[in-house]
């Protein structure tokens, strides 16, 4: 294992130091100039930039030199002595330096800029077009691998980089967006009335993504299954060759085998994301399930908002309509019937019993026989009285059941051997079987289908392999009926046990 991965990152010390306000301002200026392709900066121009800010009104050149020295010590900056412009010995003695930021520092600042743009919430999006672009790039790889005509090294590297650029964007954007809509802020917004205006757009966005995803994802899954890893290896070798052709002064310490292993691991990660493995379902299925769940969650939120709105709505018009309806009744009996429909029965008492004398749902209450119900006391320490019982020896009963079971299995074994042809049973060679034999054979088929190699062990300890024909079908005749099914062969892979 590379121990450099877990080393202490001293370059991150400027982010939490006591003088982080000055260190961060200096290194942010270095990052901006790096993006403009200016690598080396002098203290004078750094000081001039800092003095433009109000927070550095009392900042001095001596403080700047101390801060620069500290950043050099933390490996955030690299100092180089400038000797070409020294006109006097005194200027040379002052050791005029120019400074360059290190790669760690640039990546820290780049990350911080991205986080500052996003604020304190997750970003991301659900872009179905990225799946289409990924599919197009994978098609190019599939075409190259199947045809065997390998293009130039740089073209292979470009296609490979396109695939994993789109894949990285998909995994990052989808995970960020799912986290965004599951955040506490999004949950609070769903509880407001303003969400009702936004919900149609939100639901349409999620449904369009699901439709586009289902359209493209199945193609990607099928393509990934069709690409053989052994045939992909020459293509990956071209990618690694391009990486090795890039001239670099530093020695990265990675040989060709490590680079090949790294690229193949990226391909396995891509396949696992779309196809899953033996330990987990694919992230694609998880994404579809979570997106559908978000649509259901939005629907429930809208329903709750509608119910809340309905609860506070005035029912004055409903009551006036109902009052006019009662007023139009000619007699009190009709009014009673209307009241029963509108308000239900009054002064009702519901009785519950756990004893049901009959299962006939059309039996009236007065037609049922009376039952006695014992009400138990509702006190904490109440316990029903029980009588101690003797332990009865069931050894003879167990032995009898055991012998009956063994005789049944022995009879099954004898019946099964009648249908065997050599060391196998062929369905197309059977004439008529008993129902229990058919049930046992179907049980074997179920056990075999659950195994990848279609091999399993029977209750008698025999190892059986089931071979299913894809084209031929047979009719299995039994004493209680016929059953059409694919032609199958049950091969016994071991010898018949003796005794």
Question: Residue 70 sits in a domain of what CATH number?
Answer: 1.10.10.10
Residue-level pLDDT at 112: 84
Residue-level pLDDT at 219: 85
Among 35-39, 106-110, 385-389, the minimum mean pLDDT is found in: 385-389
Residues 152 and 220 grouped into a single domain: yes
The pLDDT of residue 498 is above 50? no
Residues 263 and 130 grouped into a single domain: yes
Residues 79 and 166 grouped into a single domain: no
Whole-number percent of the chain with pLDDT over 90: 1
Residue-level pLDDT at 223: 86
CA dihedral 306, 307, 309, 311 (to 10 degrees): 160
Q: Please state the rounded mean pLDDT for residues 106-121.
A: 73
Residue-level pLDDT at 34: 84
Tally of structural domains, the chain: 4
Angle at 76 between CA 70 and CA 80, to 5 degrees: 80
Distance CA 139, CA 145 (A): 10
Residue-level pLDDT at 294: 76
The pLDDT of residue 325 is above 70? yes
The pLDDT of residue 154 is above 60? yes
pTM above 0.85, yes or no: no
Residues 195 and 86 grouped into a single domain: no
Residue-level pLDDT at 499: 42
The pLDDT of residue 181 is above 80? no
Angle at 184 between CA 182 and CA 189, to 5 degrees: 90
> Are 454 and 467 contacting, i.e. CB atoms less than 8 angstroms apart?
yes
In a domain, 13, yes or no: yes
Residue-level pLDDT at 239: 83
Residues 328 and 229 grouped into a single domain: no
Residue-level pLDDT at 247: 66
Distance CA 331, CA 320 (A): 20
Residues 60 and 182 grouped into a single domain: no
Residues 133 and 224 grouped into a single domain: yes
User: What's the pLDDT tens digit per position in 129-144?
Assistant: 778 888 888 888 888 8
In a domain, 391, yes or no: no
Domain of 286 in residue numbering reads as: 123-306
The confidence band for 121, taking pLDDT boundaries of 50, 70 and 90, is very low
Among 59-73, 185-199, 423-437, the minimum mean pLDDT is found in: 185-199
Helix, strand or coil, per DSSP, at residue 351: coil
Q: Please state the rounded mean pLDDT for residues 305-327.
A: 76
The pLDDT of residue 93 is above 70? no
Q: Decide which of 117, 145, 169 is a domain's last residue.
A: 117
Distance CA 27, CA 109 (A): 8
Residues 281 and 323 grouped into a single domain: no
Whole-number percent of the chain with pLDDT over 70: 82
In a domain, 358, yes or no: no
Residue-level pLDDT at 1: 47
The pLDDT of residue 292 is above 70? yes
Q: Please state the rounded mean pLDDT for residues 187-210.
A: 68
The pLDDT of residue 340 is above 70? yes
Residues 36 and 150 grouped into a single domain: no
Helix, strand or coil, per DSSP, at residue 51: helix
Return the top range by mean pLDDT from 405-409, 430-434, 446-450: 446-450
Residues 62 and 193 grouped into a single domain: no
Residue-level pLDDT at 369: 78
The confidence band for 224, taking pLDDT boundaries of 50, 70 and 90, is confident
Mean pLDDT value across the chain:
79
Residue-level pLDDT at 86: 55
Count of beta carbons in the 10 Å neighbourhood of residue 422:
8
Count of beta carbons in the 10 Å neighbourhood of residue 166:
21
Q: Where are the alpha helices (DSSP H) in 312-452?
A: 316-327, 332-343, 395-418, 435-449
Residues counted in the chain: 499
Residue-level pLDDT at 40: 83
Return the top range by mean pLDDT from 100-114, 165-179, 191-205: 100-114
The confidence band for 225, taking pLDDT boundaries of 50, 70 and 90, is confident
Residues 189 and 287 grouped into a single domain: yes
CA dihedral 112, 113, 114, 119 (to 10 degrees): 80
- How far lies 67's CA from each of 23, 92, 394, in Å? 7, 21, 89
Cα separation of the two ends of the chain: 56
Q: Decide which of 86, 117, 148 is a domain's last residue.
A: 117
The confidence band for 309, taking pLDDT boundaries of 50, 70 and 90, is low
Residue-level pLDDT at 123: 47
Reference 207, options 132, 280, 288, 264; nearest CA is 288
In a domain, 85, yes or no: yes
Of 88 and 454, the one with more pLDDT? 454
Residues 72 and 90 grouped into a single domain: yes
In a domain, 370, yes or no: no
User: What's the pLDDT tens digit per position in 11-36?
Assistant: 888 888 888 888 899 999 998 888 87
């Amino acid at each position: 294992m590379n121990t450099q991965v877990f080393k202490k990152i001293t370059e991150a010390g400027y982010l939490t130091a006591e003088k982080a306000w000055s260190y961060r301002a200096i290194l942010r200026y270095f990052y901006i100039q790096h993006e403009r392709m200016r690598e080396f900066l002098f203290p004078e121009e750094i000081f001039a930039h800092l003095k433009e800010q109000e927070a550095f009104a009392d900042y001095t050149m001596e403080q700047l030199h101390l801060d620069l020295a500290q950043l050099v010590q933390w490996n955030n900056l690299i100092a180089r002595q400038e000797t070409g412009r020294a006109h006097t010995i005194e200027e040379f003695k002052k050791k005029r330096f120019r400074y360059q930021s290190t790669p760690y520092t640039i990546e820290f600042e780049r990350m911080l800029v991205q986080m500052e743009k996003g604020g304190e919430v997750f970003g991301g999006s659900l872009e179905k077009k990225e799946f289409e672009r990924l599919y197009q790039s994978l098609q190019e790889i599939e075409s190259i691998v199947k045809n065997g005509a390998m293009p130039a090294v740089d073209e292979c590297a470009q296609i490979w980089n396109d695939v994993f650029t789109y894949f990285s964007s998909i995994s990052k954007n989808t995970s960020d967006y799912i986290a965004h809509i599951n955040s506490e802020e999004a949950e609070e917004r769903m509880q407001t009335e303003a969400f009702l205006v936004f919900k149609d757009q939100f639901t349409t966005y999620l449904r369009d993504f699901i439709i586009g995803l289902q359209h493209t994802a199945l193609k990607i899954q099928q393509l990934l299954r069709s690409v053989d890893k052994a045939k992909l290896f020459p293509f990956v070798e071209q990618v690694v060759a391009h990486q090795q052709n890039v001239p670099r002064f530093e020695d990265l310490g990675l040989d060709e085998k490590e680079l090949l292993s790294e690229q193949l691991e990226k391909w396995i990660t891509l396949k696992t994301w779309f196809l899953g493995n033996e330990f987990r379902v694919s992230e694609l299925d998880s994404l579809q399930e979570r997106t559908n769940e978000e649509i259901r969650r939005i629907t429930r939120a809208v329903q709750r908002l509608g119910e809340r709105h309905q609860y506070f709505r005035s029912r004055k018009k409903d009551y006036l309509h109902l009052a006019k309806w009662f007023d139009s009744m000619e007699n009190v009996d009709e009014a009673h019937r209307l009241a029963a429909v509108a308000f239900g029965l009054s002064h009702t008492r519901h009785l519950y019993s756990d004893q049901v004398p009959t299962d006939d749902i059309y039996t009236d209450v007065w037609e049922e026989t009376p039952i006695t119900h014992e009400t138990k006391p509702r006190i904490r320490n109440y316990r029903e009285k029980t009588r101690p019982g003797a332990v009865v020896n069931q050894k003879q009963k167990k032995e009898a059941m055991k012998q009956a079971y063994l005789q049944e299995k022995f009879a099954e074994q004898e019946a099964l051997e009648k249908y065997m042809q050599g060391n196998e049973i062929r369905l197309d060679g059977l004439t008529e079987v008993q129902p229990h034999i058919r049930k046992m054979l179907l049980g074997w088929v179920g056990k075999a289908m659950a195994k990848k190699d279609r091999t399993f062990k029977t209750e008698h300890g025999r190892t059986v392999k089931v071979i299913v024909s894809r084209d031929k079908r047979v009719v299995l005749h039994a004493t209680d009926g016929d059953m059409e099914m694919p032609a199958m062969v049950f091969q016994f892979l071991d010898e018949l046990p003796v005794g």
